[in-house]
Amino acid sequence: MTGMALSDLPVGRQVDVLAALAAVETADQPVPPDGFRGLLDPALRATLDRCLRAQGRVLLKVGDGFLSGYEDDIGRQLAAEGAGVLPPDDRAVLALVLLHCVAIPRAAGRLRSDSWLDAEPVRKQDLVLSQVPESRIRGSVQRLRNAGILRYGARRSILPGPQFARLTPRVSAQLWENLILLAQPDGVMGDVIRRRRVARNEHTKQEKP
**Is 71 within a domain?**
yes
**Given this model, what pLDDT does residue 176 score?**
93
Helix spans in the chain (H):
11-26, 37-40, 42-53, 72-80, 88-98, 104-107, 124-127, 134-146, 169-183, 188-207
Same domain, residue pair 120 and 189: yes
Task: Return the closest-CA partner of residue 140 out of 131, 150, 130.
Answer: 150
Task: Return the closest-CA partner of residue 97 out of 137, 139, 64, 57.
Answer: 137
Same domain, residue pair 161 and 100: yes
Same domain, residue pair 164 and 187: yes
**Given this model, what pLDDT does residue 199 score?**
83
**Per-residue CA distances from 110 to 65, 81, 113 (Å):** 25, 38, 10
Output the pTM of the full model: 0.88
Domains in the chain, number? 2
Same domain, residue pair 120 and 175: yes
**Is 33 within a domain?**
yes
**Given this model, what pLDDT does residue 206 score?**
64
Same domain, residue pair 60 and 156: no
- For the domain that residue 32 is a member of, what is the CATH number? 1.10.10.10
- For the domain that residue 116 is a member of, what is the CATH number? 1.10.10
Q: Among 75, 97, 115, give the residue marking a domain's end.
A: 75
Same domain, residue pair 138 and 102: yes
- Determine phi and psi for 151, rounding to 5 degrees: -145, 165
Q: Among 75, 102, 129, give the residue marking a domain's end.
A: 75
**Given this model, what pLDDT does residue 144 score?**
98
**Given this model, what pLDDT does residue 204 score?**
65
**Given this model, what pLDDT does residue 78 score?**
94
The segments of the chain whose pLDDT lies below 50 read: none
- 7-49 tens-digit pLDDT: 999 999 999 999 999 999 999 999 999 999 999 999 999 999 9
Same domain, residue pair 99 and 186: yes
Same domain, residue pair 94 and 194: yes
CA 167 to CA 18: how far, in whole Å? 22
Same domain, residue pair 198 and 103: yes
Same domain, residue pair 58 and 104: no
Same domain, residue pair 69 and 102: no
Domain span including residue 47: 6-75
